[in-house]
Amino acid sequence: MIWLSIVSLAAGALLARRFKIIVLVPATLVVVVIAIGAGLSQTKSVWLTVLMIAAASVGIQAGYFAGMLIQYGLGRLWTRRSPSFSDTTSAREPVR
C-alpha cells in the first residue's frame, strides 16, 4: 500500500506539470482500478482493499495539488528578480 501511495503522489505531481485539473477524474479512475487489482491480489480483505483505494485516490489528488503549488510557487520566486535584471532593458534601441 505504501508503494501505491508513493507512486500516486509522484504521478499527481507529474500530471500537475502538464495538464489542467480536469485530468484528475480519469487519472483517479485509473488509480482506483490499479488499487483494486493490487488490493485483491495482496489481501483477501475487502476493507484493506477499500483503504488502499482511498489512499491511492487521496495520494494522486494531493500530489497534483503539491505539484501545482511547487510549479507556481517556484515560478513566482523566479520571476521576482532584482530591478537590475529587468526584462524591459535591452541592448537595442527602443522602436518608436
Q: Where are the domains of the chain?
A: 2-12+20-74
pTM given for the model: 0.70
- What are the pLDDT digits (tens) for 46-84? 888 888 889 989 999 999 999 988 888 777 776 765 455
What would the pLDDT profile of 24-33 be if each residue is shown by its tens digit? 899 989 988 9
For the chain, the distance separating the N- and C-terminal CA atoms, rounded to the nearest angstrom, is 64
CB burial of 26-57 (b: ≥16 within 10 Å; e: otherwise) equals: ebbeebbebbeebbeeeeeeeeebeebbebbb
